[in-house]
Structure 1
Amino acid sequence: MFRRALTVAAMALIALPAAAQTYPNRPITIVVPFAAGGPTDTVTRLVAEAMSRDMGQSVVVENVGGAGGTLGAARVAMARPDGYTLLLHHIGMATTPTLYRRLPYDAVNGFETIGMVTEVPMTIIASPRFPAATLAEAIAVIRRDGDKINLANAGIGAASHLCGLLFQTALGVQMTTVPYRGTAPAISDLIGGTVDLLCDQTTNTTEQIRGNTVKAFAVTTPQRLPSLPDIPTASEAGLPGFEVTVWHGLYAPRGTPRPVIDRLSQSLQTALRDERLIARFADLGTAPVTQAQATPDAHRAFWQADIAKWRPIIQAAGAYAD
């Protein structure tokens, strides 16, 4: 029996592709489908640094921005499935299948999941000139003035765009949406009073909130954040049940060998236990997911559930991007 078990194990090892048996033996690239300096880029660079220490190979970050993250995603979906070209993307992976009617890749079946990375809280903030001091007061103004209120976002498919859709759905009010080409100009115009409101990640807004250059109405988590302890949750502030986070996950092209996926997932889990990564995540107002979430199966289940969650919201809003 023991000899037979050894024989089966040896045959299984021989059956693996040679590349999987020696993986990794050269640098790995993680594609970020957004410009350098943004929150997804920051998260990716921290993960890449920690994974490179575990893998014994360089893990390089490549920014391929444009088209709401779909250009970078396409780059990975069409790459050789050998574990050397990966994608780190946010919640946009759950909304792209509904937002975009025509894509050069399969937005659902074109990837292997490796594991989730983090769930970044969102914040509802306003211009210093906005005539409200609390979320409850802001909701009253929004319901009174409707499309006279300008709601900024960082572009179609951006986390701020999605949070804005959910915010309007929760209130049952349509505001005037003002898309920008990135978060920085949106926040700049918010501070200057050109636009009124923005719902964006703590990785983008914590500095402005702490510096009192914007009004902070709420965080979109069930509990208050240690990094922003004075900011109430949306439920506390007058919008019960309004919860949304921007989760990030790591992907490989479809067809990547399972042993390679498992090695990458193992490395990701190790990276998420790295003390330096945990400390930097805390500075950004977030934290790594649990080890159980940083697995291929848990990641895929969460991703598929989120696709189903966002589909009716996007369809009801008619928010499509051709």
Structure 2
Amino acid sequence: MCVQAGKATLAGMKWIMCGALGLAFSAGALAADAYPSKPITLVVPFSAGGPTDVVSRALGQAMSKDLGQSVVVENKLGAGGTVAAAFVARAQPDGYTILIHHNGMATAPALYKKLSYSPMKDFEYIGQVADVPMTLLGRKDLPPANAAELIKYVSQNKEKVSLANAGLGAVSQLCGLLFEEAVKVKMTSIPYQGTGPALTALLGGQVDLLCDQTTSTLPHINANRVKLYGVTTPSRIKALPNAPTLQEGGLKGFSMKVWHGIYAPKGTPPEVTARLTRALQQALKDPAVAKRLDDLGAEVVPVDKQTPEGLRTWLKAESDKWQPLLKTMKVEAD
């Protein structure tokens, strides 16, 4: 509130200052109302056609309907998603450059000694998107017929068994580490430059095992090109109703899913992040998005997770879960 000063000259200055402040607040409100006035770039840390990219494109298209501007997907690869995350952390905090990322936001601090950003401090949170189950696959001619037989097989063959992944920090690597921890066996880890090459190696019989998202593996499972040993969720999934869980196969307590969240650079105005959250929530109500995710075996998260606080809380919980485990297992970049 503006209060008139006792002296005329001071009073005049006060009224001028108050008027200027009022104009500034009005300009800020108008800027927020005008957002977005140009296309928004959604940065994806992984390659085009990969699991996160597929989810991102479906989501971006639906968000653009609510925002009234295009949401353009930009794939920025490198270092397990840290190149993309660092890029967005340094971007102008105006809501026109945002990030979608998966579990890697929680694991990066343990995997990379010289991380140039803090997942918990250098971003504003928009909300969670979807959860994606994972599947443990074997090459078509791998001898074990089910998870119980596989556990026995890897225990007998140990490092002779090759376990592919999509590179350091990829969810396929994390799932493989959990599997090794669960069976108490160290296998031969073979990293590839992405999910596509890892799957190609499995399909070609060049590696024995791969654990990856249903968004990538479902077509090969349904075409009977690989051997499915189980899903990584506690319960069976709608996309593969006849597939047992790894817990059913004898790995009690084994549970892992891929989760996705959307982030903006630190300092992005609250009005802008709120607008993005609203667009995210509207997109996740879109029947076309729901069907696309359902076809991929993914599940839209509950509404209370489609919020800044929902994502913040989940990221903290996942960081507390994974970082000690990775440090104990001494898994990190060279």
Task: Give the Cα separation in 1 of the matches to 2:182 and 2:27.
Answer: 53
Change (3 A) 1:11 1:241: farther
Residue 15 of structure 1: CA displacement?
Answer: 8.2
Helix, strand or coil at the partner of 2:189: strand
Residue aligned with 1:83, SS: coil
Q: Give the aligned length.
A: 313
- Identify unmatched segments of 5+ residues in structure 1: 1-9
TM-score (norm 1): 0.94
1:30 pairs with 2:33: no
Name the CA distance, whole Å, in 2 between partners of 1:132 and 1:48. Answer: 41
Alignment counterpart, residue 59 of structure 1, candidates 61, 71, 76:
71
Q: Which residue of 2 aligns with 1:130?
A: 142
Q: Deviations over 1:163-200 (max 9, x none)?
A: 11111111221111000011112112112221111110
Secondary structure of the residue that 1:124 maps to in structure 2?
Answer: strand
What is the correspondence of 1:68-147 to structure 2 with a 5 Å cutoff?
Answer: 68-147=80-159
Q: TM-score, normalised by structure 2?
A: 0.91
Task: Pick from 210, 227, 250 the counterpart of residue 198 of structure 1.
Answer: 210
Does residue 185 of structure 2 align to residue 170 of structure 1? Answer: no
* Identity score, percent: 52
Q: Is the contact made by 1:89 and 1:249 (CA closer than 8 Å) also made in structure 2?
A: yes
Q: Where does residue 247 of structure 2 map in the other structure?
A: 235
Q: Secondary structure at the match of 1:319?
A: coil
Q: Which amino acid aligns with 2:181?
A: T
Contact 1:169–1:313 under 8 Å retained in 2: no
Paired amino acid for 2:80: G
Please, what is the CA RMSD of the aligned residues?
1.6
Give secondary structure in 1 for the equivalent of 2:305.
Answer: coil
Q: 1:266 aligns with which of 263, 269, 278?
A: 278
| Separation in 2, partners of 1:304, 1:225 | 26
Secondary structure of the residue aligned to 1:235 is: coil
How far apart are the structure 1 equivalents of 2:118 and 2:314? 18
**Aligned counterparts of 2:34 and 2:199: Cα–Cα separation in 1:** 46
Counterpart Cα distance in 1 of 2:185 and 2:85 = 32
Q: Which residue of 2 aligns with 1:3?
A: none
Q: CA shift at 1:107, angstroms?
A: 3.3
Given the alignment, which residue of 298, 302, 308 partners 1:286? 298
Contiguous gaps of at least 5 residues in structure 2: 1-21
Cα distance in 2 between the residues matched to 1:130 and 1:216: 11
Q: Which has the larger radius of gyration?
A: 2
Q: Return 188-197 or 158-167, whichever deviates more.
A: 188-197
Answer yes or no: is the 8 Å Cα contact 1:166–1:313 preserved in 2: no
Structure 2 residue 157 is matched with structure 1 residue 157: no
The one-letter code of the counterpart of 1:184 is G
Deviation at 1:114, TM superposition (A): 0.4
CA distance in 1, matches of 2:152, 2:27: 65
CA positional deviation for 1:29: 0.6
3-state SS of paired residue (2:218): helix
Q: Work out which of the residue numbers 321, 325, 329 in structure 2 matches 1:309.
A: 321
Whole-Å separation in 2 of the counterparts to 1:174 and 1:70: 27
1:261 counterpart letter in structure 2: T
**CA offset digits 1:34-65 (Å, max 9, x no partner):** 11110100100011000000011111111101
C-alpha displacement of 1:148: 1.3
